[in-house]
Amino acid sequence: MPSLPMPITDVFVALADPRQTNKVQHSLAETLTVAVCGILVGADTFEEIQAWAREKL
């Protein structure tokens, strides 16, 4: 019996977050998920990823 696909955020949850917790607005898993999705739709720079993410809010 095939297993269900794992949500992409679950892939990143186990990663250690080196950022300072009091300066973090979004979880590392959320940030990486948005970055990967932005790249998959054709974004090539951080600015393009940010623009794509803001369109999807």
Report pTM. 0.80
Q: Which tokens sit at 23?
A: 């300066």
pLDDT for residue 1 is more than 70:
no
The three-state secondary structure class of 16 is coil
pLDDT tens digits, 28-46:
999 999 999 999 999 999 9
Residues 50 and 39 sit within 8 Å (Cβ to Cβ): no
